[in-house]
Structure 1
Amino acid sequence: MSVVTEKRLKDRSGSKCEISGSDENLVVYLVEPKTDDIPENCILITKTLKDQIENPETTNANDWRGLSDSMWNENLPVQIVSWRMHARLKNNDMLEMMYLDEDALEWAKATGEADDDEGKIVHKDSNGNILKDGDSVVLVKDLDVKGATFTAKRGAAVHNIKLVWDDANLIEGRVENQSIFILTQYVKKTK
């Protein structure tokens, strides 16, 4: 990191961590995926917090108590790191309170912190296997099909399923050339 950037960050933050407020073991952290080490892309942070950002498995929620203040920081890179850590720590209430414009939100999501199934509906078969659009399944029970004159028999294959995105318990598929909705608890994914 450039000496000029470090000096400007110390001036901006009063030589304190922009997340925790600590004044010990401070380092400059370039907020990915930015590559220019200018103050508009960096924050001043303790080495402990920087290490936790870079090694998610070492994250200690108690070290991040300053997030409730730093999320309101006027400097965008501080807001970005705050958003990412709230997402990692599953602080959904705080995430909902934060406002980032479209470009800032794209920057915040660039590392995929919020992509660990947060807010996503996950469809699982009767054995707990995750289902995806296009999968093939087998019925594990005879099912009376409402509005039709047939029963979908146990063992019937349903190919190229479609997930019902607003309900984790439903999929759509074709049985006997008819499109029907099926509860996920009555299907088993085929390999």
Structure 2
Amino acid sequence: MSDLLKQLEDRSGNACELCSSTDTLEQKVELAVYEVPESPKNVKDISILACKVCREQLEDHSKIDVNHWRALNDSMWSTIPAVQVVVYRMLDQLKAEGWPQDLLDMMYLEDDTRNWAEEGIQRGPQIIHRDVNGNILKRGDSVVIIKDLDVKGSSLIAKRGTAVRNISLVHDNADQIEGRVGPTQVVLLTQYVKKTSGE
């Protein structure tokens, strides 16, 4: 075992520093060293202990499971700068979901740590969800369906005029939102919904 791995295991109590996963009799979470990308040269501790699930999603954004990252609610309070940087970057990436933005607003970082975190953020084109009239949609908004829509994989038809409340946004697709039509959670195309006035 490397000295670094041993140090990180001791520091974290043998738990993933992002989601707190630990090895159990049923499951090995495969804890390993994760080096924080885009780290400044003058920072000594640039690694964290992370489980296989966290590492895979950090390295391949197409594998991101938003619900897995709800654990950041706890790890955001870590006093380890390298952990804070990874948490901050992931929350920033997921902020269209709503709750990660709330956590970002609560997070406190020293200036040096914030600069480190900001430098590694991939600033791609921002994904903005808009309704049929061009109004910006946010998580929690209410919309009305403007056309009868077949719901894939079911016999359900989402009728024109149906109100869909408390929508969520598909974080990697500006043309899709999610909401409940009756008892069913469905994906809706933004071109077929209209934001409710007064929202």
**Which runs of structure 2 are paired with 1:11-90 in the superposition (5 Å)?**
11-23=10-22, 24-34=29-39, 40-90=45-95
State the Cα deviation string for residues 71-119 of structure 1 (Å, max 9, x = none): 000111111111111111111111111111222111111222466538x
Normalised by the length of structure 2, the TM-score is: 0.54
Residue 7 of structure 1 is matched in structure 2 by: 6
SS at match of 1:66: helix
When the two structures are aligned, how many residues end up with a matched partner? 120
Q: Identity over aligned residues, as a percent?
A: 36
Residue 94 of structure 1 is matched in structure 2 by: 103
**Which runs of structure 2 are paired with 1:144-183 in the superposition (5 Å)?**
none
1:27 Cα deviation from its structure 2 partner: 1.2
Which of 98, 103, 120 is the aligned partner of 2:112?
103
Q: Which has the larger radius of gyration?
A: 1
RMSD in angstroms over aligned alpha carbons? 2.8
Task: Return 5+ residue gaps in structure 1 as ranges.
Answer: 123-127, 129-191
1:34 Cα deviation from its structure 2 partner: 2.5
Distance 1:32 1:117, change over 3 A: same
